Structure 1
Amino acid sequence: MFKSMVFVLRIAAAWLLAILVASAIWNEMPLLGRLDWLMTIVGMATMALVVAAALSHVGRVRLISGRNDKEALDNRQRRQVEIPFDAGEAFDLVDAAIRELPRVQDVESARDSLQVRAKVMRLEDYNAYPLGRWNPMRWFGVPQNRIQATVLPGRDSASVTLICEPETPAWSDWFLVDDGTNFENVEAITRAISRRVAERRQSEKSEAAQTAVEKELTVAKLSLLHAQVEPHFLYNTLASAQLLTRSDPARADEMLGHLIQYLRRSLPSADNELSTLGAELERALAYLEILKIRMGSRLSVQVDVPENLRATPLPPMVLQTLVENAIKHGLEPRTGGGTVWIRARRIDDVVTVTVADDGEGFNTKTSGTGIGLKNVRERLRLLYGASAALSVVANFPTGVAATLSVPPALPPPIEQDFRHV
């Protein structure tokens, strides 16, 4: 209440001083000085209208803000808003929030300097002073406000300075009130920014939840794949080992040793840890050694994987899937068999792992359903995003070459997310 009275008295004192100066000038005029009674009436009427307008401003500000402190009563409003986005996103958000204001016009956006300027017409209800344009509160006032927003870039966020003020010089604040319109504008922009930030956060949470669900489904499929361990492959391997125990015990023992190595690498770990290229290569070689005993000279394997690349993180069973595709759809259908190549190279910040064969190639009769490759692509997307890829092309002169492109190391957040799925 005290601050409200101080505000009204300040406006009244400014007008009283102006009226006294005008009266002194009036009295010095030769003819008009005799009509001092007229100046007295005009001055009293002016003071009455000024006090009424000031009280109206105080009442309206209290209605809008629920308080009557100096910050709320001022015609010129300033806010500092922190936005947890980079400067470009923060600028777009502020620009959209300003453009949503009612009666906004002449919006000027300068993206390079991260500034937005605009004008806002005041509602007619707030400007309907008694006596219209003859009311002293409208003698040199403009029924229009202006907005200026400046985005200040930070390291991981941006700060926005909002200024809402009348389109009149600062000295006019001693004589005029804005009926709380600039307080309304700055609060409306602040609310719009908060709403848009909340919507963005909610969208990010929804996307993160969706990604977590997708990861859980992928790991569940992987666990199922581990549990199956190719029943036909296991059956055929054991049957071959049983047959070899009678004719060639040494080869039977060798086959069972490779089978044990393959099964050890195929069992899922308790914490679903990410595997490595070296561990996946051991699994694939154990699988291929078993097939070499079964297929004999029909299968040849060539491996070229540098030792310094074997620690490269790799999702479990991804390399195995490519090797199995090369055997099932490339070499087994061929009477003469063929060769499987496994090769790894590092080019800049990308490690490429290629599994190639000289088998049937893209033959519709042996191409399979494509579920395995689809699963590989999906797991790469969930773990690496756009940093990894799988390409499958024709090998020259025959066969197929499948190449994994992965970063040499996983970013910590991604690796952490994977381990908690």
Structure 2
Amino acid sequence: MSTVDRVTGAAPFVVVGSSLAGLRAVEAARQVGYSGEIVLIGTEHHLPYDRPPLSKKLLEKGSSDGRVTPPHFRDAGYVQDGLQVTVRSGVPAVALDTDGRCVILADGSAVRYGCLVIATGARPRQPFDSAGQLSGVHDFRVHEDSQAVRAGLERGARVAIIGAGLIGSEVASSARTWDAEVTLVEAQEVPLVRALGATVGSAVADLHEENGVRLLLGACVASLEGVGAVEAIRLDVGTRIASDLVVTAIGVDPETDWLRGSGLQLDNGIVCDANLWTGVPGVFAAGDVVSWPNGQFGRQRLETWTSAAEQGAVAAKNALDPATARAYTTTPYFWSDWYGNRLQFVGSPVADEVQWIEGGVGQGRRAVALYRRADRCVGAFALNAPGETMKLRALVGRGTSWPEAIVFAESRARSYLARQ
């Protein structure tokens, strides 16, 4: 019996969360030689699927891919036969008994575990208690949300999006491919402050109005109006905006309510150590639900595709062989696509200074900015400069000094101009 098989004993390796992180955990378990039973538990009735296309490609006019089924990472044959995984779909976990080492499901059944990876992700915040009473009002998290919003766009709906973060901005961009009338409402004076900081957030906001989106900053939606179906949103200053389709995208909260009373520490996610261990024997976590100490960036909870994929694999390997567990560290990275522009960010936006190395935020233009905290480069933003991003990620990850980072980025900019 291998080391990883001995860890679980007779009980299976269980993953809660049929997500990217959950799939990577399952795959990693097989890759390291675990030959025992694996159970994958998911709230949705789908196998793990790719979420970024939901607000991008699958929502844009001219794309019909995935309208009936989500963009699955793997087919059922691979998951169930190739990986030898028992899939429990459409049955949410409702409690965790860490003393008895079992996950309690909504149908009343219990799944025993030898070791467990929690990858339950996050759920959309709800701005209105009554939103579900009106048709035409949608969150944006799962495949069915994307399908419903697309159906509204096909009908020629007037669109109001509440929240100008990454998801709201992507939905606005996709809606404009249908020539939809789009209003984007953001409570902050500068959008994307948490993701990009005020300097860059203010600059990229111009992309919306350049592409025909009405952007309202420092505005709060007080209520929804309509009888049966949404007809308008009303701002707190009294302004009424006619809307047949409302998308709420004001952020997410980690999906941890089911873990209350389990003994796990919960504080903006599941509090884990550097190895993604919860502190409870045999229980690790991965993805959007995890708060963990990330090297030079401190304690973080990341909502990114890259970190979910990486954490799923690390959590599984550490759970199955804790004696050789390794810390998970990463230089955060995310991307977003608006109006034919690729936005990419690495590191942290919390900075004392932001310096533009290449300016020109706007349709089809290229821009690069560096973020300084004390004497180090802690972040970098790139617009339409995909060749720079991984080099900048490595630079930030090394904790490069500010002068050295400036010299490097300026040299890259000169090289790019020389090639034009």
Q: TM-score, normalised by structure 1?
A: 0.20
Query: Larger helix proportion, structure 1 or 2?
Result: 1
Structure with greater proportional strand content: 2
TM-score by length of 2: 0.20
